[in-house]
Structure 1
Amino acid sequence: MSAGTLGFEQEAQLANHHTMRAGYTSISSGTMHQLVAAIAADAFNVPLRDVRAGIHDGQGQVSVQLAVPLVIPMPPETAGKEQVKNRAGTLFERAAEARKIVAQRLHDLAGTSVGQVDIRFTGVHHGKPSTAGRVL
């Protein structure tokens, strides 16, 4: 078969064949846990150290379990941009929005199809930096 009879996609693959390398890429389960925790910390605007994440494979889709603190925003006169986004909606609305963010970003970064994201609030984060234990 000559190159002129190949379809457009096949011609593109043939043209790029010389740049392809043999091998595979894998993501360890520990890395997936850390990735999910980092995405959740960003989505909930809490420190990464306060997030616990679990992942399980269920019928071809990933199931994510998150344990995060509930963000209690600062009063409006002292709130910054990060705290303003945490005041939008009820706890359930905020959790639903974070659920979408976690599923979409995990799909975008790892190519993983997310079937379920369970969220458990485990404490309170006041949404302001702590200076306890710091030398000022």
Structure 2
Amino acid sequence: MTKKILCPTDGSDHATLGVHKAVELARLTGAQLTVCVVNMAHGAARGPVINHLTEAEVKKLLEQSEATAKADGLAEIGTVELVAREIAPAIITYADENGYDHIVMGTGDKRGVKRLVLGSVAASVASEAHCSVTVAR
């Protein structure tokens, strides 16, 4: 039975669809929902680490997710910012270390050559996660 759901978001339309589906699953199962934003860290060994998103941007993304969850009828959700150089491993590691048993995430419409060249965070999470993964399209 699903008890803890992690839902990564970047504020895009497909990620917001993932939030809607995560809220629906949390309401149906009574599970705890946490929405996370992975803030990519950039920088070389000799220079400073620079996060892709500002604190204000992260705060806005998390507030938007909270508003979406409340509009969909879920009173309480947790939020977390993850800072990492790679998105998929950050999601998988956080979920594993914090006892999440389900990850729900949206995916873009990348097909053919675009997907082959760009890869897919959702595909990586789905293939490597220790728990169930639902990919919303």
Alignment TM-score, normalising by the size of structure 1: 0.32
Larger Rg belongs to = 1
Bigger relative contact order, structure 1 or 2 (CA pairs below 8 A, ≥6 apart): 2
Question: Given the two structures, how large is their TM-score scaled by the length of structure 2?
Answer: 0.32
